[in-house]
Homo-oligomer: A and B are copies of this chain.
Amino acid sequence: MSIKIGILGYGNLGRGVEKAVNVCDDMELVGVFSRRDPANVKVDSNAPVYHVDSLPEMTDKIDVLIICGGSATDLPEMTPKYAKLFNVIDSFDTHARIPVHFANVDKAAKKAGKIGIISCGWDPGMFSLNRLYAHAVLPGGKDYTFWGKGVSQGHSDAIRRIEGVIDARQYTVPVPEALEKVRKGQNPELTTREKHTRVCYVVAEEGADKARIEKEIVTMPNYFADYDTSVNFISAEEMKANHSGLPHGGSVIYSGTTGSGDDLNKHVIEYSLNLDSNPEFTGSVLTAYARAAYRMNQSGDAGAKTVFDVAPALLSPLSGDEIRAHML
């Protein structure tokens, strides 16, 4: 029997989930749900497309609804709303608002007897898991998170809003010297500027004032002002040829100790990702956790969960005997 999956929202992330669901033998993609007119949504697989308004009629046809919306306005409203009807899962990543989002989803999901997994993906998600495991095993150590080299869509969008910019791509790049110190267990104190640089590729309008565009980028508060930022003007052709992918990745590095005094021993734990496609990897993580959401609900559990609450075995399509034999 397959786990019946619905996808709500069909941008880059929704497409990534679609690809992931379609390689899982124990899952069936029931449909893609969109706020757009379904006639105008072309999906990669042969899954049917429905308008989002038809979701309430499909509660008996969907085991888990994977919600692929934005954290700013979509998910705070959508995830609690649909947790009243389905097991749901999202990739909510606005860190400061996680407690409120968790509480809202928890209330709705508990009342409905459903599971709602929030903040799933790689950060928050796989990176969070590695912070937790490391802190639990070696209490009192220090964790560092480096992102990149990879495309930040938020920063790319910010550049595109500048007058005279046609297109832009921003790469977040860890500073090699900082990475090196952390990997050696030196526990450095690092400022924002010392951890990452920002590299921008910009297609400007014909005759645009490139000096002004560059200045607007490097001085932009929150996005660029606290970083060493480099700006490269390129042609639209070069943008398409060399910067059309959405690679990303990074590392969580934890440095801790055992013993004390002359017997102090250092230990460094590193988890790193090198991803050709950020949305496809994130979609794959959401899909694995959708399996867990279904199983947790089948075993009688309800309420909001995060990756911290999910036993790893629940993510695998294999049996307990199989995972112990092949992966332990």
A residues engaging B (CB < 8 A)? 16, 19-20, 23-24, 95, 98-99, 102, 119, 124, 126, 128-133, 135-140, 143, 183, 185, 245, 258-259, 265-277, 280-281, 283-285, 288, 291, 306-313, 315-317, 320-321, 323-325, 327-328
Contacts and interface: CB of A to CB of B under 8 A. Distances in A.
B311 A323 contact: no
Contacts of A316: 132, 135-136, 308
Contacts of A320: 308-309
A268 B284 CA distance: 13
B276 A265 contact: yes
A276 B280 contact: no
A271 B274 contact: no
26 contacts: A95-B328, A98-B325, A99-B321, A119-B328, A128-B328, A132-B313, A136-B291, A143-B327, A245-B265, A258-B283, A259-B277, A267-B273, A267-B276, A268-B274, A269-B272, A269-B273, A270-B273, A272-B272, A306-B328, A308-B320, A308-B323, A308-B327, A308-B328, A309-B312, A310-B312, A312-B312
A258 B274 contact: no
Contacts of A16: 258
A136 B288 contact: yes
A136 B315 contact: yes
A328 B131 CA distance: 8
A3 to B, nearest CB: 14
A275 to B, nearest CB: 5
